[in-house]
Amino acid sequence: MATAYAECFDPTGARYGVPTYPWKYAPDGLATRRQLRSQGLRPGGQPIAAQLMRRSRRRKSGAAVAYLYRVDRAKPVRPMTSRRCGALALAMLARRTCPECGVIYSYCLPVSLGMCVLCADANRTSPRRG
């Protein structure tokens, strides 16, 4: 058994406190949030049943983790109400509106700039030559 697989295999939960399985080796009846959502379900307040783990050099902890929930205890997704739809529309409008010039764009503005590209270019100081 490879060491990476062995580190991520703890079905009793003795090492990590919750049953842990290697990536793509989850037992039947468990699903991640995204998998539940694709089935029209949500966790519904249930506790984490298990976790998937894989080694990752990008993470400080050295491992990427995905939490698993029981499918049989999942609840259906709440239906979209008119007020909720309106609130989401206003939030998306705020993401597309430049706070500097007030122009509404057809795409979400970059968070790194905090404004539209034209305003960011105008606010940038010209480079010194010398």
Q: What is the pLDDT of residue 12?
A: 86
My answer on whether 21 and 63 are in the same domain is: yes
Rounded to two decimals, the pTM is 0.68
Q: What is the pLDDT of residue 123?
A: 84
What DSSP assignment string belongs to 105-122?
Answer: PSSPPPTTTSS-HHHHHH
Q: What is the pLDDT of residue 110?
A: 94
Residue 37 has pLDDT above 80, yes or no: yes
Residue 16 has pLDDT above 90, yes or no: no
User: What average pLDDT score do residues 107-113 get?
Assistant: 94
User: What average pLDDT score do residues 8-17 get?
Assistant: 84
My answer on whether 87 and 114 are in the same domain is: yes
User: What average pLDDT score do residues 32-59 get?
Assistant: 91
Q: What is the pLDDT of residue 129?
A: 54
Distance CA 18, CA 50 (A): 6
Within a domain: 13: yes
Within a domain: 129: no
Within a domain: 51: yes
Domain count, the chain: 2
Counting every residue written for the chain, the total comes to 130
Distance CA 71, CA 39 (A): 10
- Burial grade of 60 (CB within 10 A; 0-12, 13-18, 19 or more): exposed
**Residue 105 sits in which domain range?**
82-123
My answer on whether 39 and 91 are in the same domain is: no
> DSSP label at 126?
P
Distance CA 89, CA 95 (A): 10
My answer on whether 45 and 72 are in the same domain is: yes
What DSSP assignment string belongs to 40-108?
Answer: TEE-TTPPP-EEEEEE-SSSTTSEEEEEEEESTT-EEPPPPPHHHHHHHHHHHHHHHB-TTT-PBPSSP
